[in-house]
Structure 1
């Protein structure tokens, strides 16, 4: 039945529910260097990775121009963008993810909008820190409404024996693979005499620029940091697999990512006012801004609350691959596709299989958006002309919106439109 929830194992790993994730990540023999890198990344990626998605939803919305009646398929990740899309009132959103921890988080966020009493309660539950009552809110309002697998997951225990749901009472955004990576980056910077958290004291873009030039930029010339950024495993904490590292390293003559990361950190800190960039707040403040400090993510803003709450039942969350889900859909049945950066991981065969299903299921005027580690689209030269010729690459919109992406992580944002 469409929208039926797949149960989660309480402690899913590569041996269980994460077998799908494993098969997607591993492309080389285990004893090869590439194979070892893939398996290390897979081990790290098998837990919660992104408590917050790091693709700018405002850019996504501008590219897709969602209308009532549109049917969307998107990768879930941290779930924030899927909720933002709901504010436009699409007919249906299918969310897919191979990581069972992301599945549990997406379902929890949807339940919060459906069943918590008010907008303030949703913000307290998903956007605040140090709110111990969130566990009680889960028990009272959410747990009875969840499917058995998701309820078991959040009632399960972490490595310290605490209920998983307790993280919503502390600071979920300091957890997960990305949260730990940011924490490690702060420690490394502090060892070099810089406290990244001081950045949130900036009161103008001039002060933001000064902090970057005086404090952050010089870090990338430090020998230890240049050595670290020359290792593939150093960026696994950002969710960047070995394949993406190679794409990024190709931008640098030294095969080190120091220069690339410096450029992208400059965009994050200097190109957008801090008040308007919750990605910068998470990177430096490790939290969302308070009302007097700046804007919350779109899905937590009061102006979008009613629309998201009213449309939350239009979402189905699936623990499977994008390609497998599309394989069950009729021809011409999807209007918008959101692939995040997943194609950077794919082999040529996986890419062909994906775009065969995308092309088959695309409705007239369908739009596909995705991001890449490097600047250029990865599709030319990898897809057959029979597939790629059915799509128009909107280079102008891609370039314009890529510049506007406040997360600043990716090198390229790409928009493809189905030809008539």
Structure 2
């Protein structure tokens, strides 16, 4: 990145501007980057869209694992905690995501029961959740997190009250999914009706007859030609190019259709809570379908017992690693952050990964396109320290129920 950070006011966007901006503010690309940085400065992901079950298998977590991960919506952080690893360091550039991760940790430790925790983070129309926050959780939050949740959003309401309604319809991603439903309804299709299917054959039939044709509609094709149209998925301008490159015709609509097909057709709906969020707009009840591991009752005692092993940092991955001793980290989860990075940033990150990686360390990440982005961009002196586990990468990608990414990639430290 160029280091140009002028053009957007406020400290809350500084970290994100530093991560996103590559072009002059007077260029078309620069304006697009600044728009993305602005919209990405608030809550983006009420739910993280990487499958934690896949992550945990790819990482081969053990009680001795020392993890560094990007926080995002916090779902996966707490899901990793169900395996009781030794330590999890969480980083994020977005202050809303930092506040959400801290809220989840304080809630699992201090809400009276697992059913209270479930109602808070999985329920809809639970008007007492904000009361539970003030009584049980707020006294255990840091001042900045309290200020965020007790501050007011653009609608004038205190942010904590979104848990009284449907938290997963909030945030940039929630609004994007709502917009997708609206666009479908304008064309006579209600995506939620797929939840009435009773077999994978019926799921396929619904997709082929109702969802797939939407991507041929002129309005849908027009909208997806704009990089800004996918900001709601958290896709910055640089990653949009990677997404477009995943199709021979360079049409993002073709890629989106293929990935929605995987979400709708490749897994039974009752086993895929990502599909529940995309189509039904809420989680299932415990007896209806699958849930993220951290919301499953059988893991709650482990979460409560080990919440103190998670440490949340409002800084970049590279900055956190620079402060860690050599050979002190076993597992790294980069999500799709490398798709955003310049070559200089990528090499700076992996310099610290190589320095801090313990014997047997693993790195996992996802990409908008199918191939790993490291060959040809990462310096050979860094890349040569790692083996690419092609089998684990392919298996994990096939099993990833979120279906949004082109590839999952697993690297293992040589000499383990």
Asked if the contact 2:49/2:402 (under 8 Å) is kept, the reply is yes
Q: 1:369 — aligned with what?
A: 364
| Structure 1 Cα separation of the partners of residues 285 and 79 of structure 2 | 20
1:390 to 373, 385, 390: 385
Alignment deviations for residues 338-371 of structure 1 (CA, whole Å, 9 cap, x no partner): 0000000000000000000000000000000000
Alignment deviations for residues 128-175 of structure 1 (CA, whole Å, 9 cap, x no partner): 110000011001000111111111111111122211110011111001
1:272 to 263, 267, 273: 267
Q: Tell me, what secondary structure is at the counterpart of 1:59?
A: helix
Q: 1:150 — aligned with what?
A: 145
- Structure 1 ranges of 4+ moved more than 6 A: none
Asked if the contact 1:14/1:22 (under 8 Å) is kept, the reply is no
1:240 to 223, 235, 240: 235
1:378 to 373, 395, 403: 373
Q: 2:354 — aligned with what?
A: 359
| Structure 1 Cα separation of the partners of residues 150 and 368 of structure 2 | 36
Q: 1:61 — aligned with what?
A: 56
| Structure 2 Cα separation of the partners of residues 328 and 73 of structure 1 | 13
| Structure 2 Cα separation of the partners of residues 242 and 204 of structure 1 | 38
Q: 1:252 — aligned with what?
A: 247
Q: 2:174 — aligned with what?
A: 179
- 1:302-341 matches, cutoff 5 A: 302-341=297-336
Superposed CA RMSD: 1.0
2:124 to 118, 129, 138: 129
Q: CA deviation at 1:258?
A: 1.1
Asked if the contact 1:392/1:417 (under 8 Å) is kept, the reply is yes
Q: CA deviation at 1:198?
A: 1.0
Q: CA deviation at 1:232?
A: 1.1
5+ residue gaps in structure 1?
A: 1-12
| Structure 1 Cα separation of the partners of residues 224 and 152 of structure 2 | 34
Asked if the contact 1:76/1:97 (under 8 Å) is kept, the reply is yes
Q: 1:343 — aligned with what?
A: 338
Asked if the contact 1:14/1:46 (under 8 Å) is kept, the reply is no
Q: CA deviation at 1:21?
A: 1.3
Q: 2:4 — aligned with what?
A: none
Alignment deviations for residues 192-230 of structure 1 (CA, whole Å, 9 cap, x no partner): 010111111111111111110110001111111112112
Asked if the contact 2:66/2:328 (under 8 Å) is kept, the reply is yes
> Is 1:225 aligned with 2:200?
no
Q: What TM-score, normalized by structure 2, do the two folds share?
A: 0.97
Asked if the contact 2:82/2:293 (under 8 Å) is kept, the reply is no
| Structure 2 Cα separation of the partners of residues 341 and 149 of structure 1 | 27
| Structure 2 Cα separation of the partners of residues 61 and 380 of structure 1 | 25
| Structure 1 Cα separation of the partners of residues 250 and 359 of structure 2 | 42
Q: What TM-score, normalized by structure 1, do the two folds share?
A: 0.96
Q: CA deviation at 1:289?
A: 0.9
Asked if the contact 1:14/1:21 (under 8 Å) is kept, the reply is no
| Structure 1 Cα separation of the partners of residues 311 and 56 of structure 2 | 20
Q: CA deviation at 1:46?
A: 0.8
> Is 1:24 aligned with 2:23?
no
Q: CA deviation at 1:14?
A: 5.1
| Structure 2 Cα separation of the partners of residues 36 and 316 of structure 1 | 35
Q: Tell me, what secondary structure is at the counterpart of 2:63?
A: coil
Q: 1:281 — aligned with what?
A: 276
Asked if the contact 1:336/1:368 (under 8 Å) is kept, the reply is yes
| Structure 2 Cα separation of the partners of residues 344 and 14 of structure 1 | 25
- 1:54-203 matches, cutoff 5 A: 54-203=49-198
Q: CA deviation at 1:254?
A: 3.5
| Structure 2 Cα separation of the partners of residues 165 and 336 of structure 1 | 33
5+ residue gaps in structure 2?
A: 1-7
Q: Tell me, what secondary structure is at the counterpart of 1:406?
A: coil
Q: Tell me, what secondary structure is at the counterpart of 2:409?
A: strand
Q: 1:3 — aligned with what?
A: none
| Structure 1 Cα separation of the partners of residues 394 and 30 of structure 2 | 34
Deviates more, 1:368-377 or 1:283-292: 283-292
Q: Tell me, what secondary structure is at the counterpart of 1:82?
A: helix
Q: CA deviation at 1:385?
A: 0.8
Q: 2:3 — aligned with what?
A: none
